[in-house]
Amino acid sequence: MKIGELSKKSGCSIQTIRFYEKQGLFEACNRSEGNYRIYDASSLRALRFIKQCRSLDLTIIEIKQLLDTKNNPNKSCSSVNNLIHQHMVDVTHRIAELEELKITLSEMASACTDNRKVKECGVLQLLEE
């Protein structure tokens, strides 16, 4: 299969696939006579793995580490478990930050509900502080 088909089947854009290859995340595949990339079912599986990881917001470097780990089937998987755990901690932290931000924004918003003139705007006044 050529890159366009892989793109449709995986849901990754063509540029993204080539980008992953350049980053060393997605193995460089065979080429046709005309220098077209030729993929098979295992390419699709590999790409879906990457997509799953990205949907968890793993960075490219982290995904590389996972792929490295996958290549040593008899080693301990603790690094995998730790990575996921650490991500959960980070996400929890980020949620807390955004909740705080939301409160601040809502205080801002309630400082000027009606339309006033700019010089009387409660939002701008809060921002000046």
Interface residues toward its own copies, by CB under 8 A: 45, 49, 52-53, 56-57, 66, 69-70, 72-78, 80-81, 84-85, 87-88, 91-92, 94-95, 98-99, 101-102, 104-106, 108-109, 112-113, 115-121, 123-124, 127-129
How many other C-beta atoms are found inside a 10 Å radius of the C-beta of residue 56?
Answer: 13
What is the Cα Rg of the chain in Å? 23
- Count residues near DNA (CB under 7 A): 22
The only residue of 9, 48, 54, 87 in contact with DNA, by rule CB under 7 A = 54
Under the binding rule (CB under 7 A), the answer on residue 112 touching DNA is no
Residues 6+ apart with CB under 8 A from 10: 17, 44, 47, 48, 51
Provide the token pair at 28: 């460089």
Which residues contact DNA by CB under 7 A? 2-5, 7, 13-16, 18-19, 31-37, 54, 59-61
